[in-house]
Structure formats: structure tokens, C-alpha cells
Structure 1
Amino acid sequence: MQYSSEDNFINNILEVFGIKNRFEFLSAEELTSKFSGSEKVKQIFNEISMFDDNDDFSIFYKLEDKQNVEVAVSFTWPIDRIKAETETQIFDLLDTEHNVKYEVGDASDHYIVWVFKKLFDKYKLDSVENRRSLSIIRRRARSFIIESDGDVELIQVMRKAAAFVTLKVKKPLNSTFDLLSAVDSYSYTIMCNLHEPLRVYSLEDILPILKVNTKERNYEFDVPKRIYNNNLIDYYNLAISSNDPFVSYISYYHIIEYFYDEVFRDQQINNLRRSITAPRFSYKDDNQLFSIIEKIVKDNKTVRENGSGNEFQSLNYVLNKYLVEINHFKERFDQVDLDFYENHIVSFSKGNLINWSSSEKEIIKAISKRLYYTRNSLVHSKSTKKDTTYHPYLHRDDLNKEISLIKNIAEMIIEKDSKFIE
């Protein structure tokens, strides 16, 4: 991963904390010297570039005579409150058999700097939307600076602005104990005993980053003129309210899936009706009758007892029924989204490209495959298909890019299924 230089890192810290604007009359040197410990932060910045890190937000480092792994964790209750209620250090455990120590508490200085590095990699400060997303971090930092007397140590400002805790697992340098397995074991032990979620899956789970809606809002709308299916509205509400793209995607998919049985049944009936009403059909022709029987038998091999067909076939039927105006459907996207779906497969599901210039039939088929492969990757976790399985640590941002496609499909279905208010 490529990071900016140490000076750019300090400059980004001062900018995101709103310090540069407040003390704009100071030179860069005077501004840096106003906060003690800037050199310390630079030193840590250079040290952590040598650390091993993972996509699960864990870093590995040696400290004194111990090998350490440190990873951010999250609790729905403040950890100090939990400790006070139990009156024990329930989070700090010692495995005497393997000489492994577990601690939950304030993040190390190295982890704090590492997280801010990750922040500036993802949220470039030349974007207005990104600066708005970091406004809570800015307010926390400035409040701490105002309340502090005298010089403020920069690493402490960073700590107060971030305000998260980490799990540290330590073992002797010569130990072969697997630290990542230890993190998993500890996490499950805490979660199943305290009924508390512990793991974090994104930078937004660690830092107070606002979710800024970059889509243009439409404030010019009239009184509702149509009645919508309340079941679909419930799914839509859950999808649009969740910060987890997994929940959003599955909820939008439920809107499509809602019509699987109905559309598959209608399609089979219409196929049969077309066959027996064709001008060249004769009920006296045994070959024609047997051909129809063969087709029905073939279709029914993929039909469950409740009358619905196989997943992909049903999905394709639904999209063919509701996406009848592809050009109108394309108008719901901005050009960035259209280009993305045309030029990028879904990394984790291998969902295919959508060639928007092909025929309507081919476009719908491509959309069906992209949705089907992605949905399967989300809901199926098979040891034999690890390369097409969704992993929150690795793929959350990639899944976020698929939300626009399935959201617009869900809206088309909701609207076309609605009825005019009499």
C-alpha cells in the first residue's frame, strides 16, 4: 500500500482537525511546533510502514520481548461501563498453558497512526464530500484542543478524535502460537458469552465517519398518486436504512425474489398456451403433443414442489417482465455507474460485465447473471468455493458499488407493480 510522506501525513492531520484554518496566520513550522510530539508521530509513521498488516484491520509488531497482534474492536456499550458493572478485568485474560496474553483497551500509538494512514488513503481531502464525512473527527479534535491547557501532544489529539479500543494479543518471540487464530478464538468467546458484536469490517466501523449521500437529492415531488405493495416497501426501507451493504443488497434482492413464484408460473402457462394455440398445432399430432410434454417435463425438473422454478430462470423472467424499457432504466444511472458496470466484473462473485450497447435481451441476461452470481456469493459460504465467497473485510467496498444497480431494479419493480389511486 502506498502512503504519503511523513510531512504530508502531518499536514493531513492538521487539515482534517481544522487546525490549519484556525491558525492560518502561522507558518507551517510554527503550526507544527504548536503541538508537541509532531516528530514522534513522524517517527511512528515511518516505523509502521515496516509493519505487516491485514485487510481485517490487524497489525503485527514486536515490542520488547513479545510478538504482538493488534486489531480494532467494537462494543455496543462503552467498555468502561462493562468493566465497572462486572467489577473484574474480564477482557484481560492470560493463557498460562501457551503463555499468551489478551488485553482490550486503548489503542497503541502505532495503531492510532496506522488507522489515520488508512483514513487518508481512502478519504482524499481534496474532496468536499470526504471533508464532510470527517466532520465528527474534526469536532472531537478541536474540542479537545480548546479544553486542554498549554501545549497539546498531537498523538493525544488523534486518540481523542478517533476514540476506539483495540484487542492486543501477545506471545513470546520464540512461540509458534498462531496470533490470528487467537484473535478469532477470543472474539468468539466474548461474543457468545456477552452477546456483544466485537469484530469490525471497515474503517467506518472504527472511526466516526459520516455517511454522506453523494447521489443528488430530488426535492421537487408531488403528492403520491399510486398505491405500492407494503411488503416491498418494508424491504426497501430496510435496504435504504442499513449501513451494511450486505443487508442492503439482500433486502433489495428480496424485492425481486418476491415475484419469482408468480412470474415463473405465469411464464410456464403462457409457454403452454402459445404452443397449443399455434396455427400449425394439431392435437391429433402425437409428435407435437409429445414435444410439448417433453418441454413441460424438462422445465419441471427444475421446479420445486411449491411451483417456483430455479433461481436464475426465475430471476431472468422477473427482469424481462419489469425491465421492459431498457433506455428508461439506463436513465436512472449516472455515467460513472454505467461505465463501471460495463468495464468491471464483480471482484468477489465474478459477476459479469453489462454491455449497454447490446440488444435488450442480452442486457437483461447480463444483468441477471451479475445479480445471480453476486447473490450466491453473499448467501452461500462453501469451503470448495472460497474464491467466489463474499468476505466482509475484503469485499465491502466492492459490494457497495453494486448497490446502485440492484436498487434501481428494485425501484422499477415497485413502481411497475403499483396501482393508480382511484
Structure 2
Amino acid sequence: MSEELIVNESLITKGLRTIFHIEEDENGDFTLRDPIQMDDGKEISGITKAEIAEVTKRLSEAKFKNESSFHWEREAEFSLVSLDPIGAFERFFEDKEFLGQGENPVTFKTGRPSREFSAYLLCLFTQNPLLMKTPRLRMLLNQIRSLSATRTSTGARIIRRSIEADSLLEVIGKALRVTTLHITSTRARSDFETLANSFLFHAAYNTDAAARIGMDSTFRSQAIQRVRRTQTGSLEAPRQAYDADLVHHYLMGVAAEIPLLEYLAYYHIAEHFFEKIFNEDLVNQVRSGITDPSFSARRNKDIQSIIKIVTKVQRQVKEEGGVNEQRALQLVLDKFVDVSRLAADLDAYDATLVDYYATNDVPFAGASKASIRGGDDDAARSAIAKRIYKVRNALVHAKEGELPKYAPFAHDEELAREIPLMRFTAEQIVISQGRVL
């Protein structure tokens, strides 16, 4: 859990008031103006102050907690994110329980979040105004509100939708469509995350339904900072035509839910020009050599200097199995990327990013700082190329024992901060290839 996140009774109460029409009595208990009808006929009419205090106490007693999990001595609960676009994992593992074997059996239960995890989610988006504004979350909040019974002008009750739950917090958890994995053990353990990943592998191996530990993008502030530059109503017709291959890579990046895939999709746009730009650079080096006033075709040493240029490049290509990618990347940036525009795009997206790149390395990639503003543009492009290339290498190379190394999901937050730099760079490359319609 991030240091900024606080889970307390006040935030839970604030979240409840945001979602429901509730009234507080003299005892501090809360009553719904419109009760919620369950499938079994039971009615949930509110929540007591004692239940809120109990849930808060349970969360505070967790031995370990982070963005997507809570661990106690004998149990843990993990938020899960499905890795397929049609939600096969959620459908297959909705409200399922699996009992382990042996002297100390472990129970795995999948389904909607517990009261405690629902309260945590409530606190999470209550503290972040950006989360409250996302279209998907507004839709989810409307779904929760629609569970309440309403009355016609004659007083007859209309039930819009009913579900099974034992408390108001469970109602919220079910309506938010979050899936969690709840693990319980007969003895104290410290390896709950290992158990969770073992279960997820076992599930994927046997059912082809894949999920990972993590927070749904609805509740992650980084994921909601989309680059919407205009409202739909003011969108104009395009004035340029763009290369289809570049467009397809760009669309893949915009649509990707996994940061690794998003980053690589944008990188492929730059990579598209590597061989062409690299060969052009070689031709320019040779042309510069033979057109220099000091060059003479009659002097062997002058001819040999040109041969050395070509031989050196050929040797690099042979050793690396292709063009020198870092050099090619820098050449692509030199040709297509305007540094001041890149800085402006980053500022418009997140005003902290330019300073972040200038003062922070990328630990999982061994990539150094990149000063984008206030210096020489050529030096800036060189630093950007090195940072981008090392991040890319960390994503595609994962040999055992090599450090630094990207760990899937574990480094997603760090990688997410690198995506804007790669995306805005790729956008300039695409636009530079545009043809006026």
C-alpha cells in the first residue's frame, strides 16, 4: 500500500456518503434512504458504526499490505486482474473454493472482495479525486446506486436489481466487479504471495484462464491519466494520411492494458526506421569523406580511411546480428523528434515527468537520467535514446542471473512512468511521415 493511502472510519463513511443516500442516527449508525433487496428476500437497510470500526480494525491489524493485498497471520486477500479481454477468469472462478491437502491444508477462494477489501477500495477512490471522475467508475457507482429500491408515486417498491450479500460493504464489492483471491491456512505463514502465484499458475495451466495479482486499472491513478487532447464533439477530420504499419503499432499501444506491451508497441514505431536511417547515415559518412577537400582518390591512406568507415560498420552489424540499434534509435530521434515539443507534450500530460526523467534512473533497466529541457537538444536526444533503449532491452531480455532485469507486474508502476516518453516520441515519428490529404 502506498504511504499516502489511509484506511480509516472517516474515509469509509465519506465513501458511503458519496455512493448512497444515507442518514446518520444519534448512535452513529447509517440507514439507507432506499434499502437494498437481496435474492433471498433479506433487506440491507444500512451499516452500523460498530461494523465500520470492526472492518477498520481488521485492516489495521494486517501484518503486510500493499496496493493489491492484505496479509494476516493465517490468511491473505489479493486483488486479481484478468489477463484476457473477455474476462474468462472472472467467469470461471466466480465464487469458487478449493481446499488443499496435507496436515496443514490451505484453502483458496475466488470471487468478490470481502468486507475488508471493499472498505479498502472505498477509501482508495475516496482519497483520489481523479478516480472519481473516470467514466468506468461513474458507471460502477451508478450500478451500485441502482441496487437501491425505489418507489413509484403509489408507494409500490420497484427492485431494479438484486444480489446476494450479507452487508452493505459486500454489496459495494460485488457491484464494483473486482475479483479477489482469499487464502486461509490452519497455521501462520509468510509465503502467501507464493501460494497465490502458485494457484494462478495452476489455474492457467488447467483452464487457460489467466489472471495476475494487481489492482484493476479503475483504481489506479496512473492508468486513468489518458492523453485525451480533445472532446469527441470538437474532433475534426484528419488533414494527413499516415503509414498503415505505424498506425497499427500505435493503436496497439493505445489499446494495450499491459504496460510492457504498450511500451514495445510504441518502440516498434521507432524501430520501423532503424535499417533505413542507419544505412542513410553510413552513406552520409562515406559521402562526407570523399567530398572533403582534403580527400584524394590518388592517396592510398585516404581510400583506406573510407574503407575503415565501412568495415567498422559492417563488423558492428555482424557482431550484433543487425544494425546498431542504440545508434539507429538516436539517428531516428535526431531526424524526427523535436525536443521542445516533446517537453511540452510531457508537461501537458504530467507536469512532473520532465523533472522525473532528469533526476531519476530506471533501476530495473539500468537506464540513466535524461535531461530533456534546458540544455543542448542533441545531448537531450542522445540521453533519451539511451534511456529508451535500455528500458526496451530490460523488457525483451530476461536471462537468469543478469542484472538489472524487468520483473513482470512487479515493475509495472516504474514502467508506466516511462511510457509517456516513449509514446510522445513515437507520435512525432508517425506525424513526421504524414502526407497532406
Where in structure 2 are the equivalents of 1:171-186 lying within 5 Å? 171-173=185-187, 178-186=191-199
Displaced runs of 4+ in structure 1, greater than 6 A? none
- 2:119 aligned with 1:104: no
Residues 232-241 or 105-114, more deviating? 105-114
1:134 Cα deviation (Å)? 2.9
- What CA distance in whole angstroms lies between the structure 2 residues aligned with 1:351 and 1:115? 35
Residues 5-14 or 230-239, more deviating? 5-14
- What CA distance in whole angstroms lies between the structure 2 residues aligned with 1:106 and 1:38? 23
- 2:128 aligned with 1:124: yes
Query: Aligned with 2:229: secondary structure?
Result: coil
Amino acid at match of 2:414: D
Q: Pick closer, same or farther for the CA change 1:164–1:128 going to 2, 3 Å.
A: closer
- 2:286 aligned with 1:280: no
Residues 342-351 or 398-407, more deviating? 342-351
- What CA distance in whole angstroms lies between the structure 1 residues aligned with 2:405 and 2:272? 25
- The answer to whether the 8 Å contact 2:183/2:192 transfers is yes
- The answer to whether the 8 Å contact 1:102/1:168 transfers is yes
- 2:30 aligned with 1:33: yes
Partner residue of 2:375? Answer: 358
Q: Pick closer, same or farther for the CA change 1:31–1:214 going to 2, 3 Å.
A: farther
Partner residue of 2:285? Answer: 271
- What CA distance in whole angstroms lies between the structure 2 residues aligned with 1:28 and 1:4? 25
1:414 Cα deviation (Å)? 1.3
- Give the fraction of aligned pairs with identical amino acids, expressed as a percent: 21
Q: Return the TM-score normalized by structure 2.
A: 0.78
Q: Alignment RMSD, CA only? A: 3.6
Query: Aligned with 2:77: secondary structure?
Result: strand
- The answer to whether the 8 Å contact 1:137/1:162 transfers is yes
- The answer to whether the 8 Å contact 1:187/1:198 transfers is yes
- What CA distance in whole angstroms lies between the structure 1 residues aligned with 2:363 and 2:322? 30
1:314 Cα deviation (Å)? 1.0
- 2:30 aligned with 1:14: no
- What CA distance in whole angstroms lies between the structure 2 residues aligned with 1:38 and 1:145? 20
Q: 2:61 aligns with which of 32, 50, 58?
A: 50
- 2:394 aligned with 1:392: no
Amino acid at match of 2:229: E
- What CA distance in whole angstroms lies between the structure 2 residues aligned with 1:312 and 1:410? 16
- 2:305 aligned with 1:301: no
Q: Return the TM-score normalized by structure 1.
A: 0.81
- The answer to whether the 8 Å contact 1:164/1:206 transfers is no
Point out where structure 2 has 5 or more consecutive residues left out of the alignment.
32-45, 150-158
1:352 Cα deviation (Å)? 1.8
- What CA distance in whole angstroms lies between the structure 2 residues aligned with 1:80 and 1:297? 57
Q: 1:241 aligns with which of 255, 269, 273?
A: 255
- 2:94 aligned with 1:71: no
1:233 Cα deviation (Å)? 0.9
Query: Aligned with 1:302: secondary structure?
Result: helix
Residues 180-189 or 111-120, more deviating? 111-120
- 2:333 aligned with 1:319: yes
Q: 2:207 aligns with which of 183, 194, 197?
A: 194
- The answer to whether the 8 Å contact 1:239/1:252 transfers is yes
Partner residue of 1:136? Answer: 139
- The answer to whether the 8 Å contact 2:9/2:56 transfers is no
Amino acid at match of 1:33: F
1:309 Cα deviation (Å)? 1.4
- 2:433 aligned with 1:417: yes
- The answer to whether the 8 Å contact 2:250/2:269 transfers is yes
> C-alpha offsets along residues 295-351 of structure 1, whole Å, 9 cap, x if unaligned?
33222222149984122111011111112x433444434361434433444454334
- 2:417 aligned with 1:401: yes
Q: Pick closer, same or farther for the CA change 1:260–1:392 going to 2, 3 Å.
A: same
Point out where structure 1 has 5 or more consecutive residues left out of the alignment.
none
Query: Aligned with 2:295: secondary structure?
Result: coil
Q: Pick closer, same or farther for the CA change 1:164–1:407 going to 2, 3 Å.
A: closer
Residues 233-242 or 179-188, more deviating? 179-188
Q: Pick closer, same or farther for the CA change 1:249–1:386 going to 2, 3 Å.
A: same
> C-alpha offsets along residues 253-308 of structure 1, whole Å, 9 cap, x if unaligned?
11100001111111111111111121101123233333333333222222149984
- What CA distance in whole angstroms lies between the structure 2 residues aligned with 1:359 and 1:236? 29
Q: Pick closer, same or farther for the CA change 1:321–1:77 going to 2, 3 Å.
A: closer
Q: Pick closer, same or farther for the CA change 1:386–1:43 going to 2, 3 Å.
A: farther
> C-alpha offsets along residues 114-154 of structure 1, whole Å, 9 cap, x if unaligned?
4444444xx523x58646563133223212233479xx943
Query: Aligned with 2:292: secondary structure?
Result: coil
Where in structure 2 are the equivalents of 1:246-257 lying within 5 Å? 246-257=260-271
- The answer to whether the 8 Å contact 1:102/1:167 transfers is yes
Q: Which has the higher contact order (CA 8 A, sep 6+)?
A: 1
- 2:347 aligned with 1:334: yes
